[in-house]
Amino acid sequence: MLAAASLVLAAAGLVVMVLGLRAERRQVVLEERLARFAQRPPSLDDLELAVPFRHRVILPLAERLAHFVLRFTPGASLHRIEQRLVEAGLDGSLRPLTFLGLRFGLALTMASFAIVLTLAGSGPVQYRVGLPFVLAALGWIVPNAWLSRRIAQRKRAIQRALPDAIDLLVISVEAGLGFDQALLRVVEKWDNELTREFARTLSEMRMGIPRRQALRDLARRVNVDDLNVFIASLVQADQLGVSISQVLRAQANQMRLRRRQRAQELAHKAPIKMIFPMVFLIFPALYVVILGPAIPRIVEAFR
């Protein structure tokens, strides 16, 4: 009877397990079918976690800190930061108030780190007092230096791409296209900092902004000397009714001449820049290789 009871219990357990697996599989199939035909709306937690960490935590915290710093910041400085962010191409992703808060937050973090180091360690009083101020100043300067470097890189990229873009504009206009269509052709041909600004200008003109104003806004955003001269020539030609193809041809020749002069200037600066690496890196190695074997003989000769 014990064996029979064991067999009955085993069979009942097997039946229960099979029924449970079938029910689970049926539930999975039902969920797959529901997910296939009806998309569930995401929850608030999912939407919040989908946002990057810097947008959820870092940037809001920086803006709160910036409201404190804004009391001691003149309006001209905030306007200058806004212009620099526009020149760096960050006006759509970073606000001036946020950038100011990031600078203050980094300076505060560096100063707090220095205070912790000085409290945990030992050293001269001048070192322990001055280190927080030095690191705070470094934290305040580093974001501004990073922004300046980004502006310089972007301006160089636009300056390098401008002559080729003007050449394509000349070819397109002389082939019978209008200026707007020629500009669109340049945007479709390349994908760089200059063509992105051209695409933004075309979008502004489609929204109803006059061409002259859109071009002036482009010059203000980029703030590159070559592009400023080119846009000033276009605006003047539009005002005076001069043929735009002649203006583009003259500007293309001028841009090629400036690019050649810029390359010659860099070539003339190269020997001067090579002096310091040669004096401090190459010449000492040559002295060691050439005069090294003779040093023991010279020492023996003077004994």
Would you place residue 121 in the very low, low, confident or very high pLDDT band (cuts 50, 70, 90)? low
**Distance between the two ends of the chain, CA-based, in angstroms?**
113
State which of 68-72, 76-80, 151-155, 245-249 shows the largest mean pLDDT. 151-155
In this prediction the pTM is 0.69
Give the tens place of pLDDT for each residue, 171-213.
888 888 888 888 888 888 888 888 888 898 999 888 888 888 8
pLDDT greater at residue 69 or residue 213: 213
Q: Could you give the percent of the chain with pLDDT greater than 70?
A: 73
Task: Please say if the pLDDT value at position 261 is more than 70.
Answer: yes
Would you place residue 21 in the very low, low, confident or very high pLDDT band (cuts 50, 70, 90)? very low
Question: What residue spans define the domains of the chain?
Answer: 1-31+61-122, 156-258
Range 156-258 has CATH code 1.25.40:
no
What pLDDT shows up at residue 149? 92
State which of 54-63, 127-136, 198-207 shows the largest mean pLDDT. 198-207
Task: Please say if the pLDDT value at position 293 is more than 70.
Answer: yes
Q: Could you give the percent of the chain with pLDDT greater than 90?
A: 1
